[in-house]
Amino acid sequence: MTMLAGTSLYARGQLEQKAEAVKTEAHTESLQEVEQRDPADTESVNAGEAQEVRSQSEENDGEHQEKMIIALDPGHQGPGIDMSGMEEDAPGSGVMKQKNNSGTTGRYTGLPEYQLNLDIALKVKERLSRLGYEVVMSRENNETAMSNQERARQANDSGAVLCVRIHANGSESPESTGALCLVVSEENPYAGSLYGESSELAQDILEKYCEATGFENRGIQISDSMTGMNWSQIPVVILEMGFMTNEQEDNQMADPSFQEKMADGITQGIEQYCLKRKVR
């Protein structure tokens, strides 16, 4: 979670007038039964069946080799890891930012954002894996010393088709609610070419996530100051799942049963985007 001023592009499918400052987852085929035949016919049929089985096996191997890779980045990490050093916020920008931090904390539950982000990301990973995707995680514990730049580079090098950076939001106002996604602008000199696909991914995730959770869809906001997005070479979004500074959303997001809905929505949004990508 990072302080930024964003320009809202979409909210419930429409352009918003103003962006509020905000802080900163088988089919099977069976062979037809063969009727009783004389030995010569049976030998011919068996040969044909064997060829069909080989063809199906080769086809399945090809599908396995082409399995889509999804990168998930559970934002932040535990406070025991020193990430106070600085790094460039974009390739060659000369602008230095802190490598990472531990994020915000639930105002009412005391749940650390870094833990919430990880819990949801692991649930999304499990669901995507069951759907046949390969999932690359930037971290699977709270002691992983990876900067935002390093996380983006890992996703780039993994062969992933997209990256979802999972975060939770915060605001000075306890009345702020809802989910939103951040993407780079089309004019971003480092990752502007990702704007179109990133925006589509963000729309799909927000649609399904807000359907699953009942959270307000605050739409897509622009940010060109996020290190993890500026270094990305694949479609990337930051999902702000809800406000940990709002009593209702803080309590909901800390509830294990509600977290299942959160993970379902994120997974469905990623799947919706990937299915469209497969037919292009």
Going from N- to C-terminal start, the domains of the chain cover: 8-25+68-278, 35-66
Position 109 scores a pLDDT of: 99
Q: Is the pLDDT of residue 221 over 70?
A: yes
200 CB neighbour count, 10 Å cutoff: 18
Between residues 167 and 60, which one has the greater pLDDT? Answer: 167
Position 1 scores a pLDDT of: 63
Q: Label residue 278 by pLDDT band (50, 70, 90).
A: confident
CATH architecture of 8-25+68-278: 3-Layer(aba) Sandwich (3.40)
pLDDT in tens, 241-261: 999 999 999 999 999 999 999
Q: Label residue 279 by pLDDT band (50, 70, 90).
A: low
Position 3 scores a pLDDT of: 41
pLDDT in tens, 1-13: 644 434 344 343 3
The amino acid occupying position 36 is Q
